[in-house]
Amino acid sequence: MGLKSFVQVSEGSHFPLENLPYGVFRRKASSEGSVVARPAVAIGDYVLDLSAVAEAGLFDGPHLKGSTCFSEPLLNKFLEMGRPAWKEARSTLQKILSADEPVLRDNDALRKKCLVPMSEVEMVLPIVIGDYTDFFSSIHHARNCGTMFRGAENAIAPNWYQLPIAYHGRSSSVVISGTDVIRPRGQGPPVGSSTPYFGPSLKLDFELEMAAVVGPGNELGKPIDVNNAADHIFGLVLMNDWSARDIQFWECVPLGPFLGKSFSTTISPWIVTLDALEPFSCQAPTQDPEPLPYLAEKTHVNYDISLEVSIKPKDHDELSIVTKSNFKHLYWTVTQQLAHHTINGCNLRPGDLLGTGTISGPEPESLGCLLELTWNAQKTLSVGKLSRKFLEDGDEVIFTGCCKGKDYNVGFGTCTGQVLPALP
């Protein structure tokens, strides 16, 4: 049986007592109360205001008693406190929200102050993202893209099997779910001997990713051991790393992605902690050849997180599921990604974001972007009664992610964005 809360949690909810993901909200202008951003956890169809919980003195353990971390409009201070504080917070919150605990259940005034219906709030970016790195960790995505552009015999470069490949992204354009995405303009490949194309991207794509949110960082020059890396990861979010393929392909040699990626990256509002995901851990794919010692993990695990992407065209009410994948397909784990990121002494900081790269599975219906699903526009993809090769103006892209337990789910909610026309 799942844990029971006095807060009603509907069957199939992403946010039962076993989850309690962290985010930052503010009340909508039309609702009562302050519009100041506040940290929260999700429970059913409510957000639990952590600043109100702290003000009531309910965080009384050794790490959180007297702390101002939940008085901040962002979660970075809490992230920096590390796993002992995270575990203490989780234990306290599960206790005060449980069905047999009266402290909130039976205190009408305090309960109304702490619990706010989701319909009355808007979610904002929960962290200051100092740096954002995007990895390339799915073997299926790497093989498909390599085959597409270099042929099957040269699909995956030898170094890909030795280290988690990545590039440094643009943190300033990471936005919260629900933010519109303006179609980017830029240069595309020339046709024949003509000059390069310039204008709105003709190959706008989504990328089904997740991202790790860094907790405590490391000092400059001091790498993080791969077997301790999980203590430096607070949790995971859904992430859509929007991509303008024509701009990307023309610019990427020799230094990699730039304007084809930096115009927008969308993340989901709720950070699901590794503690909540732990029951859904599973063996990660076998790595051949064996990684070098600094990447060799004693516990080599991923998480069984079912992922879906839907597209809703403009003026249509129906969503069309276009792909179903799973986080467990990643070849390089998030702990290996973090350890590799720091092996040269690079210092990570609380709130840094580490994207997984596109998460594709082995089946045709599990490919994580339109580039793969349409094989670079050589095929068409059915979207309801319509078809797509790449995204069109007005398309809304919706990601969902959920771990399915026997009696409960641990989910991420949604990560959405709608494509708007390019600026004139």
Which residues partner with 24 through β-bridges? 39, 124
Tokens for 161? Answer: 């099997």
Q: Which of 14, 63, 140, 141 is catalytic?
A: 141
Please, is 306 exposed, middle or buried when counting C-beta atoms within 10 Å of its C-beta (0-12, 13-18, 19+)?
middle
- 396 marked ligand binding residue: no
Contacts of 192 (CB under 8 A, 6+ apart): none
- For residue 343, which amino acid is it? I
- 333 marked ligand binding residue: no
- 265 marked ligand binding residue: yes
- 134 marked ligand binding residue: yes
E-strand spans in 281-405? Answer: 281-283, 301-303, 306-312, 320-326, 353-355, 381-383, 386-388, 396-404
- 8 marked ligand binding residue: no
CA proximity to 204, closest of 232, 238, 181, 225:
181
The percent of the chain in helix, strand and coil, each rounded to the nearest 5, is: 25, 30, 45
CA proximity to 58, closest of 105, 7, 13, 8:
105
- 49 marked ligand binding residue: no
141 is catalytic: yes
* Distance from C-alpha of 359 to C-alpha of 380, rounded to nearest angstrom: 21
- 94 marked ligand binding residue: no
The bridge status of strand 197-200 relative to strand 185-188 is antiparallel
* Long-range Cβ pairs for the range 187-194 (8 Å, 24+): 187/247, 187/250, 187/251, 188/246, 188/247, 188/249, 188/250, 189/246, 189/249, 189/250
* Distance from C-alpha of 296 to C-alpha of 333, rounded to nearest angstrom: 11
Residues 389, 170, 214, 76: what is their CA dihedral angle, to the nearest 10 degrees? -120
- 209 marked ligand binding residue: yes
* Distance from C-alpha of 191 to C-alpha of 209, rounded to nearest angstrom: 32
- 241 marked ligand binding residue: yes
- 150 marked ligand binding residue: yes
Give the side-chain half-sphere CA count within 13 A for 135: 27
- For residue 88, which amino acid is it? E
- Residues that constitute the known binding site: 134, 136, 150, 207, 209, 241, 248, 261, 265, 358
Q: Which residues are catalytic?
A: 141
